Amino acid sequence: MVVFGFDMSGLESEDLFMKSLKIFVILIILLLVLSACQLAREGIGQEEAWMVGVFITTEHLDLWDRSFEGQTIPMRRRQPDFSALFQPGRLYAQWDEEIRDFRFPDMEGIALFAAMSPPHVPNETVISHVGPEISGGHTHAFFGDNYRHVEMEGTIHVVPGARTMTTIFMNPVFQTACGRVFLTSGSGFSNEGITSQGRIFSTNLAETRTVTENRTEYTHSTSVTLSIYGMFAPTKIVLLQMDEYSRVVMRTEFAPAEMPHEFNMEADTAYVIVETHRDDQHAQTHVVRELTERGFHDRQWISTFVARDDGILMGSGMEIIWPGRDSR
């Protein structure tokens, strides 16, 4: 509480009126400033958000926030918050009721984030958003009474010589306390073109934030690791069905894009040799062979890659059906 004291003895009535008017104006200004400080602090609390992953693009996202242009500078901790004038803009995701998922409208990119479903959705849960371009990825979520920790990892395979992923931007994705999801512009990485097989580079983006509510600390942490690998595209897949004496039962050849979703094994087949052929002269290994035995699991898969027109390799799979079992 601020108390003002004034000695007005000896002043003329006109001077007294002017002095009183000035004091009144000063008090009004102080009240407005204090109110603005309080509103600013409340606004910060309402917009509290935590990183939940990234949205990968090949171009910089121009999301500069110009909403403060021509506006009064907001206050933070009773001081003008000039940094607010340079806050990055936000692009909010939309919740699609039909697919029951978040999506960024009219935005081309690769999702790699894990967000909570909106509060209005029954049985609120974590939704893992992993684009089809991501292969070999995983998501691990750890929850406790006072913490939430998510680790995500994924790999993008690109045909050497393709120019599609020469520059990559990791745009952080956040979720607010009220469940809204948005992204901000991120940093870019240049790999100067992919010219060989193997890992080109890996990068990690992580954030840990702790907030206090009702004298209890809650910690939110997210870590995202993205790797870019060069890989020559497969040109054909050969299946060699072998009997228990290692004799060929049947040889079948597929183009990678023409592999069926299911394939029935012959009755005498004990195991399968899968040959992945890469005919490029620069490929380190022209033929890669993998062995798949008949196991106790009802579902076994053969995996390969199919190259898109832009040079990104998409994972593809075919289910093996052994005699006496079906795919259901």
Same domain, 101 and 118: yes
Rounded-to-integer distance, Cα 259 and Cα 276, Å: 12
Domain boundary among 198, 230, 262: 230
Element (H, E) at 42: helix 13-46
Give residue 196's pLDDT.
77
Same domain, 173 and 131: yes
In a domain, 326, yes or no: no
Highest mean pLDDT among 74-83, 137-146, 305-314: 305-314
Separation in Å, CA 49 to CA 62, 114, 180: 21, 14, 9
What is the pLDDT averaged over residues 228-242? 92
pLDDT per residue as tens digits for the range 141-190: 888 888 888 999 999 999 888 878 778 899 999 998 888 899 998 888 77
Same domain, 24 and 144: no
Q: Tokens representing 213?
A: 């509510």
Same domain, 224 and 292: no
In a domain, 5, yes or no: no
Model pTM above 0.75: no
Give residue 105's pLDDT.
81
Q: Which of 311, 291, 309 has its CA nearest to residue 300?
A: 291
Same domain, 67 and 211: yes
In a domain, 165, yes or no: yes
Mean pLDDT score across all residues of the chain? 78
Domain total for the chain?
3
Rounded-to-integer distance, Cα 57 and Cα 167, Å: 8
Same domain, 272 and 127: no
In a domain, 327, yes or no: no
In a domain, 4, yes or no: no
pLDDT interval class at 241 (50, 70, 90): very high
Give residue 325's pLDDT.
58
Same domain, 153 and 57: yes
pLDDT per residue as tens digits for the range 33-72: 444 333 333 333 445 789 999 999 988 888 765 444 445 5
Containing domain of residue 18, as a range? 12-46
Same domain, 80 and 94: yes
Non-local CB neighbours of 45 within 8 Å, separated by 6+ positions? none
